[in-house]
C-alpha cells in the first residue's frame, strides 16, 4: 500500500507533467546535436566547408565528449546546490552556441571549439533535466531516464527526412544547424517560466564535486556500473558516427543514410518495450542482455559485410546499444546514491564523455590508417568488456542493494 507521503508526491508530480514535457524537448533537439555529425552527407558537406578530410568531422564529434568532461565535475554540484532550472538554462544557451558555431565555422578548429560548447551543454542538460524529471516522475526513475532517450530517438529518426527536405530544396545543410539553434532557444524561453519541483532539503547545501567524492562509498560493483557508462557509450557512439562510412566503403551501400532511420527505429522500439519491461524485471538485467545482443550483431556485420546486414545491424544496435543502457545504468547508480543524484549523474556521464572523446578520437585516426573495418573491431572489443562488467554486476546485485539499505 502506498504511504500518504508517496501518494502526495505522485499527485504533485502529475501537475508538473507539462513541465517534464518541455524539459524533454531539449533532448529532442539534443538528439539532432549528438548524431548530426555522424551523417555521411553532413560529414562530406562539412569537410568541404572546412577544406579538410572526412575524418576531421569524427574528430570534431569527439570534442563533444571533451566539452562534457570539462564541465561535468561542476554541473552536477551546481544542479544539487542551485537547483535544476539554472543547469537547464545554461545547457540551452551552450547548445545554441554549438549549433550556430558549427553553421558558421570556416575551419575544423572553430568547429572543434563549438563542439566543446555542445558537450558542455549536454552535461548541464544531463544534470538538470534528468534529476528534475526523476523528481517529477518519482518513483519511476527508470522510466524518467528512458524518456530522455525516447525524445532523442524520435529526433534521430526524423533527421534523415529533415536532411532530405533540405537537400531537395537545394538549401545548405547549415540551415538545419541554424534552425536547431533557434529552436532550443525558444524552448529555453519557455523553460524560464515553467513550474518545477520545490527545492528539497539538501538543495543549497551541496558540497563540491570532489568533496562529495571523498565521502561517497564506492564498491567494486558501483565502479563497474560507472565503467559500463564508458563501454555502452562507446558501442553506440562508434556505430552512430562511423557505421555509415563502413556501409559505404566496405559493404558497398550507395546511400547509407537509411542506416540512421533503422538505428533510430530500433532505439524507439527498445525504449517503448523496455519502459514496460523495467516494471517487471530488474533494470540491472538489461545491462547484461542488451550489450550481449550488440556484441553478436557487431560480429555478424563484420563477417558478412553486405548492405542488408548493415541495415539489420543498424536496427539491432539501435535497439540494444542506444535503447537505454546508459540511462538504465544512470538510474541504477542514482538508486545507490539517492542523496546526491546530480553529482552521481555527473560521475557516470563523465565516464560516458571520456568514452565519447577518447574512443571517437581513436576511431578517427584508426579509420584513416586502417579503414572502417578496424573501427568495427574496436567496437567489438569494447562491447565485450562491457558484457563482462555487466555479468559481474548482475551476480553481485543483491549484495549491492543490501549495502545501500544498510
pLDDT (tens place) for every residue of the chain, 406 residues total: 444 444 444 555 567 889 999 999 999 999 999 999 999 899 999 999 999 988 899 999 999 999 988 997 888 788 888 889 999 999 999 999 999 999 999 999 999 999 999 999 998 998 899 888 888 887 776 678 778 888 998 999 999 999 999 999 999 999 999 999 999 999 999 999 999 887 654 455 555 666 666 666 677 887 888 899 999 999 999 999 999 999 999 999 988 989 999 999 999 998 888 878 877 888 888 999 999 999 999 999 999 999 999 999 999 999 999 877 887 887 777 666 666 666 676 788 789 889 999 999 999 888 878 889 999 999 999 999 999 999 998 888 777 666 656 5
Q: What is the DSSP letter of 193?
A: T
Q: Could you tell me if 313 and 351 are in contact, meaning their C-beta atoms sit under 8 angstroms apart?
A: no
Q: What is the pLDDT of residue 401?
A: 63
- Is pTM beyond 0.85 here? no
Quote the cell numbers at residue 250.
566496405
Buried b / exposed e across 15-49, counting CB within 10 Å, b at 16+?
Answer: ebeebbebbbbbbbbbbbbbbbbbbbbbbebbbeb
| Domains of the chain as residue ranges with CATH | 8-405 (1.20.1250.20)
Contacts of 57 (CB under 8 A, 6+ apart): 37, 42, 43, 46, 47
Q: What is the pLDDT of residue 325?
A: 86
Q: What is the pLDDT of residue 97?
A: 98
Contacts of 53 (CB under 8 A, 6+ apart): 47, 368
Q: What is the pLDDT of residue 358?
A: 94
- Compute the distance between CA of residue 14 and CA of residue 76 in angstroms, rounded to an integer: 25
Q: What is the pLDDT of residue 271?
A: 84
What's the burial of 201, exposed, middle or buried (CB within 10 Å: 0-12/13-18/19+)? exposed
Contacts of 319 (CB under 8 A, 6+ apart): 266, 267, 269, 270, 290, 293
Q: What is the pLDDT of residue 206?
A: 53
Our CA angle for 16, 126, 17, nearest 5°, is: 10
Indicate if the alpha-carbon torsion angle 153, 366, 244, 96 is positive or negative: positive
Amino acid at each position: 500500500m502506498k504511504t500518504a507521503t508517496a501518494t502526495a508526491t505522485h499527485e504533485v508530480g502529475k501537475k508538473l507533467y507539462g513541465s517534464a514535457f518541455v524539459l524533454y524537448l531539449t533532448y529532442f533537439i539534443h538528439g539532432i546535436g549528438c548524431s548530426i555529425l555522424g551523417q555521411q552527407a553532413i560529414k562530406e558537406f562539412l569537410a568541404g566547408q572546412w577544406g579538410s578530410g572526412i575524418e576531421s568531422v569524427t574528430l570534431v564529434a569527439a570534442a563533444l565528449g571533451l566539452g562534457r568532461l570539462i564541465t561535468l565535475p561542476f554541473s552536477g554540484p551546481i544542479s544539487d546546490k542551485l537547483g535544476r532550472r539554472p543547469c537547464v538554462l545554461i545547457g540551452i544557451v551552450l547548445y545554441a552556441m554549438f549549433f550556430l558555431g558549427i553553421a558558421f565555422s570556416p575551419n575544423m578548429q572553430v568547429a572543434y571549439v563549438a563542439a566543446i560548447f555542445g558537450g558542455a551543454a549536454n552535461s548541464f542538460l544531463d544534470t538538470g533535466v534528468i534529476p528534475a524529471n526523476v523528481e517529477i516522475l518519482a518513483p519511476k526513475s527508470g522510466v524518467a531516464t528512458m524518456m530522455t532517450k525516447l525524445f532523442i530517438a524520435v529526433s534521430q529518426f526524423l533527421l534523415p527526412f529533415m536532411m532530405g527536405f533540405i537537400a531537395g530544396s537545394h538549401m545548405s545543410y547549415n540551415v538545419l544547424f541554424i534552425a536547431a539553434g533557434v529552436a532550443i532557444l525558444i524552448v529555453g524561453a519557455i523553460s524560464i517560466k515553467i513550474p518545477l519541483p520545490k527545492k528539497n532539503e539538501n538543495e543549497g547545501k551541496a558540497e563540491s564535486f570532489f568533496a562529495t567524492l571523498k565521502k561517497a562509498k564506492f564498491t567494486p560493483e558501483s565502479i563497474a556500473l560507472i565503467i559500463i557508462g564508458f563501454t555502452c557509450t562507446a558501442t553506440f557512439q562508434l556505430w552512430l558516427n562511423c557505421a555509415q562510412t563502413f556501409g559505404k566503403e566496405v559493404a558497398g551501400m550507395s546511400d547509407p543514410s537509411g542506416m540512421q532511420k533503422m538505428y533510430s527505429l530500433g532505439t524507439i522500439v527498445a525504449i517503448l518495450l523496455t519502459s514496460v519491461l523495467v516494471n517487471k524485471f530488474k533494470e540491472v538485467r538489461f545491462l547484461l542482455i542488451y550489450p550481449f545482443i550488440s556484441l553478436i550483431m557487431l560480429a555478424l556485420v563484420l563477417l558478412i559485410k553486405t548492405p542488408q546486414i548493415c541495415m539489420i545491424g543498424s536496427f539491432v544496435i539501435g535497439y540494444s546499444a542506444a535503447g537505454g543502457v546508459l540511462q538504465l545504468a544512470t538510474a541504477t547508480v542514482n538508486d545507490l546514491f539517492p542523496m546526491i543524484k546530480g553529482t552521481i549523474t555527473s560521475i557516470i556521464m563523465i565516464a560516458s564523455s571520456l568514452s565519447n572523446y577518447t574512443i571517437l578520437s581513436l576511431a578517427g585516426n584508426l579509420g584513416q590508417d586502417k579503414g572502417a573495418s578496424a573501427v568495427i573491431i574496436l567496437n567489438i572489443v569494447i562491447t565485450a568488456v562491457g558484457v563482462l562488467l555487466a555479468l559481474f554486476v548482475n551476480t553481485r546485485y543483491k549484495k549491492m542493494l543490501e549495502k545501500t539499505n544498510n
